[in-house]
Structures are given as structure tokens and as C-alpha cells.
Amino acid sequence: MMGKYTKKVREVLNGIDDIADVISPGMAVTPPNGHPFELFPPNFTAHWISEFEEGQKARGEEEPYVTSIEKAIKHVNQQVAEGADFIKIMIDDGSLHENLNVPVLSADIMKAAVEEAHKLNKITLAHAMTAKESQLAVDIGIDGLAHVFIDRPDWTPELVKSIADRKVFVTPCLVLNSSFIGIPGAEFANDSRVNSKLSPKWLNTINSCYNVYKKGKLKDSFKNVIDLYNAGVDILVGTDVAVPIPGLGGLAHGASVHHELQLLVEAGFKPIEALRAATSVPARIFKLSDRGNIKAGVRADLLLVDGDPTINISDTLSIREVWLRGKKQNLLTK
């Protein structure tokens, strides 16, 4: 999401059969001091910003931020030249946090970024956590929302209709919403099928939580996502896992995908619908025609489990074998 996986880096990784593929937007469209830099400890943020600035300057871009329509257009072109698969825009004013004010780009600047991405045949995603931010994303012509809005104002039905009418897809990241309102991933991580595969750092992280939006209710996020699904909106599985520090808690790479599946079912999805949201639906949205389904002629990316996750979604954790591009993988524990 934030500029690490350039075309050159991925060319080095291409063909290695024991790591996941990366579909990346490069560096997101965000203003100076905009999201996500407010989430990290000051020393971590300073180091990260320094890395980004050095990398961007080395590639001919003055700074890794956007401040105008002209810079938005230049930034989008730079990301695509570096191999971005899509473009991501940050719309987060920090209002879910107490006493936090995070800068957000104007609608005109963000719309210019969306339009430029579309000229280059790239889809656009918006990071948006609230109903207000989600509506703004729809208004500027975004293709997908990364997060389901965590609040549920009186005008939620109008927002749901707007998202459905514009054919915007949504990656809810219910695991993140849960963490935001103060629910750690401890109960999920207590499962031996989870904790046996996580390092101490990641266990520490998943057992903590963001806990910044204390008035939030998980049932609101559940209602929002099921309303969207019932309105015909494409729902994709995602988690928004970052790095293993407790301040970004409740999440862990890999494990949280299984947790997200469980939360979707708890919200009202049938297990098979949740499974599609993690496989065939994202493959269709991102035009990955070589994967996402089990059929002749596509990649043999397969998971063999004990049980039947179309009946009991938690059976996705009972992993027996994994194949990537048809090659059987070694199953490792921590």
C-alpha cells in the first residue's frame, strides 16, 4: 500500500513458489501528514517518512505526497510507471480518534487522481472509515472502498443505495472495525490452529487492539455490510494488517483472513458466500482470470482442510495441505 512493492521488486519475486503474490497500488494518494502516518509512534513514523522520501526522490518524484491537482496527476502517473496495479486514495480525517485532526485532500484533488487513474485503465480504491468519508469517495468516482463504514447514521440507507447504484465494491475489514472499537483478537487467537502458527510478536499484536472508537458497536458494521451485500454490492475479504506493534493490534497477516471469514458469517453471510468473497470475487474485480476458482486451465492455488468450511467456516483453519501454482508447500509453525 505504501510504496514498497515496485515493479522491479516484484520482478525479483516473480516465480518464487513459496510466497504470496503482491497486488499493489504503490504509494497511496495522501497529503503531508495525512493517513496513515498518524497511527504510528513518532520515531517509527520519522524513519518511515525518511525512507519514502528517499525512494521517491531516487525515482524522480519530489515528495511522496500530494498537495494539488497537478501533483495528484503526476503522482498517479509515477505510481503506474513504477508498476502499480491500482491507485489508492486516503480519505481519513482522524475523527474516529479522540483529539486527532488529520489532513485530507480536497475533493477536486482526489477526483483528479481518480480520473487520471481511469485514463490509465487502473481501478481506484479509497481508504474510508466513516459514512461521511465513504459518501465522499463515491462522489469522486471511486471504484472500491477499503473498509465498511464503522458508524451507522440515519442516512445509511441512502449511502448503501449510492454505493450499489455506482457499482462500488467494498472490502469491509471487519477485523479492523472490531479492533477499532476495543475488541482484541484474543478469543480468535486462543485457537491452537491460530496461535501455533504465529510468532510471539504477532501473537502480542493480535491479542491487543486499536481501541480508539470506544462508542462504536460491532453490530453496526455487521448491519452495514449485510445491507450492502443484500443491495448487490460486491464484498471482498480483506484485513488491513500492517506491522506487528500493539498499537496496530487485533490483526495478523494470514490469520486475520480466517477471522474475517468468521466475522462475515457472524454478520449474516452464508459460509459459501464468505468463501467467494475471499476467492472468486476479488479475482474478478482485479481481473485475475488465472485464479480464484477451481477449474481446468487456471492456477492450482489450493487449500486442503479437514472438515467442510461451506458448513462450518472455522474449518478453513484446519489446514492439511497447501499448493501454490501446483507446488505443494511446506507447512511451517512458529
pTM of the model: 0.92
Bridge partners of 146?
127, 171
Alpha helices in the chain (DSSP H): 7-13, 42-58, 69-81, 107-119, 131-139, 156-165, 174-180, 186-189, 192-195, 200-206, 218-230, 255-267, 271-278, 280-285
Contact 125/88 with Cβ under 8 angstroms? yes
Report the pLDDT value the prediction gives residue 65, as an integer from 0 to 100: 86
- How far apart CA 206 and CA 218 sit, in angstroms, is 17
What is the chain's alpha carbon radius of gyration, rounded to the nearest angstrom?
A: 19
Contact 263/221 with Cβ under 8 angstroms? no
Phi, psi of 242 (to 5 degrees): -115, -105
Residue with cell 449474516: 268
Report the pLDDT value the prediction gives residue 132, as an integer from 0 to 100: 98
Report the pLDDT value the prediction gives residue 51, as an integer from 0 to 100: 64
What domains lie within the chain, and their CATH numbers? 1-93+101-126 (3.20.20.140), 147-297 (no CATH)
Report the pLDDT value the prediction gives residue 54, as an integer from 0 to 100: 67
Report the pLDDT value the prediction gives residue 286, as an integer from 0 to 100: 96
Report the pLDDT value the prediction gives residue 236, as an integer from 0 to 100: 99
In the numeric block, which cell numbers belong to residue 308? 467442510
Report the pLDDT value the prediction gives residue 61, as an integer from 0 to 100: 60
Bridge partners of 170?
145, 235
Report the pLDDT value the prediction gives residue 18, as an integer from 0 to 100: 81
Report the pLDDT value the prediction gives residue 48, as an integer from 0 to 100: 59
Please give the average pLDDT of every successive group of 10 residues along the chain, which has 334 residues.
61 76 90 78 61 63 83 95 94 86 95 99 98 98 98 99 99 98 96 96 95 95 99 98 86 97 99 99 96 93 97 98 92 66
